[in-house]
Structure formats: C-alpha cells, structure tokens
Amino acid sequence: MQFRTILTSIGVLAALCHFPPAAAATTKPSPTDDVIVRMSEAFGKNNAKLLSELLPRAQGHVLTPWAAYWELRARLERASADEVTAFFKRYAGTYQEDRLRNDWLLLLGQRRDWSRYVLEAPNFRMNDDREVRCYTLAMEHSLTGVDMATEVKAQWLAQREADDGCLLAARLHHASGKLSDAVVWRKVRLALQARRNSAAHRALDIVAAQQGATLTELIARPERFLLQRTPGNTALTQELVLLALIQLANSDADRAAQLLQEHWQTQLSIEQLGWAWGSIGMQAAQQLSTRALPYFVQGSASAMNDEQLAWRARAALRQLNWREVHTAVQAMSEAQASQAIWVYWRARAMHTLASSEADKTQALQLWQSIASVRGFYEMLALEALGLAIAPPPQPEALTDSEKAAARNNPGLQRALAAIALGLRTEGVREWNYHTNLHAPGGMNDRELYAAADLACQHEVWDRCINTSERTRTFIDLAQRFPMPHRQAVLERSRAIGLDPAYVYGLIRQESRFITDARSGVGASGLMQVMPKTAKWTAQKIGMTGFKPQLLNDRDINIAIGTGYLKLVLDDFAGSMPLAAAAYNAGPSRPRNWRGQAGAPVLEAAIWAENVPFAETRDYVKKVLANTTIYAAMISGQTQSLKTRLGSIGPRTTSAPAPDTDLP
C-alpha cells in the first residue's frame, strides 16, 4: 500500500508538520525580563552579591522561582537550614523546589549531616541523581545498619566518575562485610578500562590502600610492570597483572595479547582471563582489527562485562560469524540483551543459523517483539518480517480540555517563558521535569501528547519532538517528525540535487530545528556547521560576503549546511551512512573505517554498528532512520531503510580519489 494512501486513511496528511504560527511564549513581554536575564548571567558568574540585590526586583515575574533559586543556590553553603526549608515551602511543587533539594542533599551528604538528610531525602521527587541515591544508601546503612549492598553495587559500578556518594556507600558496606573484595576489584577494572584513573585509585584504596603507588606505576608503564613482575598466584598479584593488561590494551592491544600469552596465561583465573581477553578484544575491535574476534574467543564470554560483550558481538558481525554474535548476546546482562539493537542481531543470528522451522519461528518472534517505527533497529525488524515501514494508527485527537490543561500548566508556562528569554537550559530542565512521571501528579501519554502539541504550537521543536517520543501506547508520527522551514529546506535541497528527506533527517538529529543552536565546540544553527567548515564551503559554493556570525541566519545556514553535505555525499559516491558519519566526525575517519584493501563488503547496518565513536555510531543510525520516515512523508511512498543503507566496503582502486581538502 502506498504511504500516502495510509496517511490519508488516518486523516493526518494535511497535518504533516504544518503547525499554525504562534507566539514564542505563554506570557507577554514583562518589564522585569531584563532583571531575570541579568540574574541568570550573575548566577553563571557565581555573583551572589548581585543576585541578592536583584532578587526583590524580580518579584511577580513568571520566572520568579528561578530568580529565587539562583539567589539561594549561589550562597547555599552558608545558608541556614531554616532558609532552605522556607524556600521549599514557598515554592512547593515546582521544579526549583526539587532542584534545590537535590543540591541540598548533596551538600548534606558531603557534610555527613545525616540528621537533616534523613528528614529531607524522602521528599526528593526527581530521584534521578545517582550520587544522591548513594548518599541515601550510605545514610540508611550508617543509621540502621541495613544491608543495601546489592543496590550499592549496581549504583557504584554504573557511576563512571569518582564521586563521593557512591564511594562512601561502597566503603561503608565493604567495612561491614556486606560488599565483597571482588566487587571492589571489578570497580577498579571498570574504571581503568574507561580511562578513569582517579576513580580506579579511590576504589583500590578500599581493598589495598598500600598499593596506590603500584597502581600509579602500572598505569604509567604497564608493559614494564608486566615484564618485571614476578609471576605468582597470589590474589593481589593476579589483580594487579590484570589491571596492567587492561591499561596496556588501552594503548596497544596486540602487545597486551602477546604478553598475556607468553607470561600470564597460566597465572590468571578463568574469570580474570575472560576479562583480560575482553579488554584486549574490545580495544582491537575499536581499531577494526581482524584480530579482535580471535582475541575475544580466547576468553569466556560469561566472564566479560557488557561493554566487552557488545564489542565482541560487533567484531563477530564484521566477520559475519553469526554463531559468535549469538554467543556474545546470550552472555549479556538481561538489561542489555533486551535492547532493540541486540534483540535484532540475536534474531538475525538465530535466523541465519536455524536448523529447523522452530528456530526460525523463534527468530521471527524476537523481531516481532521490537518491530515498529520507533527507531533504527525497530524499523529493520519490520523489514526482516517483510512488513512495510508505515505509520501506526493516528491517536485520538486532543480535546479542548486536554489542550487547556497543558496550556495552563504553570511549569510548562515557565519553561516556555524561559526559552523565549533565551534561557534555554533552564527552560528545557523545567519542561523535562514537568513532563516526567516524578513531577507532582506525573504525566500520562495523553498529557504528554498535549504537552508536545503545546511545544509544537510555540515552535519549540526540540521539546515537541522529545516529549512526543515518550508516549508509549501510541505514536503521532507527524508530531515526532515535524518539518519546519519546509519551503526553504525543500527548495534548497532540490536545487543542488540533494534528497530533502536526508537534509531533514540530519537537521532533526543535529539541532532539533533550533535556529540559534550552538554546540560546545562552536557548531552553529540548524545544521550545526563549524565556522571553519562554513568558510570553506562558502568559497566552494560561490557564496560571497560570508562571515561566521551569519551562520545563525536560517537561509545561510541551510545553504552552507546542504552545500557541505552534498560535497561530502558526492565524495562518498552517494552513500548516506558514510556521508552522515563524515558530517559528524569529519571525512577522514569514515574513509579509514571502511577498512583496508581486501576488507569485506558489509551491509551498512553492520558497518554502522562497528563505528568506533559512540556518538557517531548513534548519529548515523538516527539520521538514516529519520531520513526514511521523512522520505515517506515527503514522497507519500513506503520506504525501505535497508535499501537506503546499502552496503559498504573498502574504497576500490577504480573509485574517484577522495577530496582530501574536505574539512
């Protein structure tokens, strides 16, 4: 069935991302707007004196709760408990109340002020700060001796940084015999594998405080440590050797493998060997080395952690070794194995290896469990089942009362007002808080749908998309994939021979259609173009008079961004996955990721899953999934993500020479 027919049948074609113009905020401009902006700037500079001076002038503004929060937060360390309690009462139910409670609990935890902490912790609604949760676990153990080791283990191992709260909870539970040495050593391994040396040192201090200097030595010179260390089977020696192997693998996986085989293969336990080979294999896999899978298979999959197993599966995919793909996914934790990515690849492995109809049926059932238009692998699962990528049924239209409830929500009003004043960070945080279930009353799917509609009407596209994406029982595809600036994008794209769906798919991922978006590295505008790249592209496309400050002009940004994307796409012979990777990570990296001469030609989904950079790997998949949806919406025809992905292999000698001038 044609996509247009489906859309018409559910009555949404006319609504494809055409929202009527609306004001940028829910309130009219206020004479105290400037005071709020000045207070925001003062808070950024930690100017507590100016904040206290300005606060009386901010009274009565819709953003007064923010002004009060900034003023008290700037002096929280010297504020009295009574002042904090008064703030909680005055702004009860607001995001600012819970935000300050989060800050206050962190401060009380650092002070080990459990008498006050125990009174305030139950009132913390967000409950999304791991360090606060760890302080709570530490507090409960300190005051009651209750065994919270299972959760402490989960929280601490998941915490990448060397924070005080989880370290305290782990230390207290270890001292009371509730947390084993093995868990602490696992934390040291994970920290070193993630190159978090400070976290490794602080964890090691729990079980082997006297070995701090040794850890410093093996981090600095792991190869020398491994060559000079006398083989032995003491638990301490084994763990230190494993740490040195992890550290060496971070810089030279092949050398780590050689030393492990020559000196330590018989000295480590099966569990330690599994971890060592997992670390070595992971680093080799991230270098796209053909030796990665042979390294992995020398260790037991059951002894490897989830990150290692993910790379074991990726290395197996790159070698088209479906049995090893299945082995790796089977060994993952339940939480990781249930993710759409691994459900999809496990089903692929089972279907490929199937020796009976029952095996194939099981694979089909796995695909059916994730098949939808919600994401990259969900869409590939649809195609694996032979189903079209088509919109789900349109949800029942919002009622006037549902729209009014969203429009009159004070938290959403504050969020829109903050965004309208240019306080996007505050606005986004406020919006997210009041559309999450931990907010007072929470939000069900219909309320989320109404909130997303409100954001769309006010052209706050990032909140429109993100809020709409969180409905679980239904999907409004047009709401999730809006098409603002439609005429400008379509005309410019078609004028230079670029698929407008690809442009929309990229913009949706880059900026969520925020025209003045600016990244931490300086990329600007809808298409998030770097100034240096913009200057180079302007020259290439013949744009005269270009200056970097023009990048936030919508039409100039679209012209520069589409011009650069077209140059990159042509350089990669029309491969959308390669061009998307190049747009995100620079052209030279995807060229290297294609592999050396003789490397296998891979379906692009496998190639994308093996991209070494997590950000770029996620980016490529999302851009291509977005593009497929937008192509269907623009053309009115059912689309194939798998066809759009194509295949990727090493550059052939007959291929045009790459444009090495591309920035």
CA 93, 98, 99, 103: dihedral to nearest 10 degrees?
150
CA-to-CA dists, residue 427 to 414, 430, 465, 516, 526, angstroms: 7, 5, 15, 15, 19
Q: Specify burial of residue 589 (Cβ count, 10 A radius: 0-12, 13-18, 19+).
A: middle
Taking the C-alpha atoms of residue 636 and residue 14, their distance in angstroms, rounded to an integer, is 12
Bridge partners, residue 389, by sequence: 639
Q: Distance of CA 174 to CAs 153, 167, 185, Å?
A: 10, 10, 12
Two tokens, residue 92 = 């009860």
Give the Cα separation of 627 and 647 in Å (integer).
17
Residue from 97, 459, 510, 609 carrying the catalytic annotation? 510
Contact (CB, 8 A) for 453 and 461 = no
Helices of type H across 354-499: 357-370, 376-384, 400-407, 410-420, 424-434, 445-457, 461-468, 477-480, 486-495
Are 457 and 22 spatial neighbours (Cβ–Cβ below 8 Å)? yes
Residue type, 308: Q
Tell me the residue length of the chain: 663
CA distance 572 to 656: 9
DSSP 160-214: -S--HHHHHHHHHHHHTTSS-HHHHHHHHHHHHHTT-HHHHHHHHHHH-GGGHHH
CA 165 to chain centre: 23
| 510 a catalytic residue | yes
The burial of 57, by beta-carbon neighbours within 10 Å (0-12 exposed, 13-18 middle, 19 or more buried), is given as: middle
Q: 16 near 631, Cβ under 8 Å?
A: no
C-beta separation of 494 from 566 below 8 A:
no
Taken in order 566, 567, 572, 573, the sign of the CA dihedral is: positive
How far is 433 from 442, CA to CA, in rounded Å? Answer: 9
Phi, psi for residue 471 in degrees, rounded to 5: -75, 135
- The residues facing 117 across adjacent strands are none
Distance CA 656, CA 595 (A): 17
CB environment 131-145: b (16+ within 10 A), e (fewer): bbbbbbbbbbbbeee
CB of 499 within 8 A of CB of 507? no
Nearest CA among 626, 629, 575, 580 for reference residue 602: 575
In order of 191, 497, 616, the CA distances from 578 in angstroms are 32, 18, 11
User: Which residues are tagged catalytic?
Assistant: 510
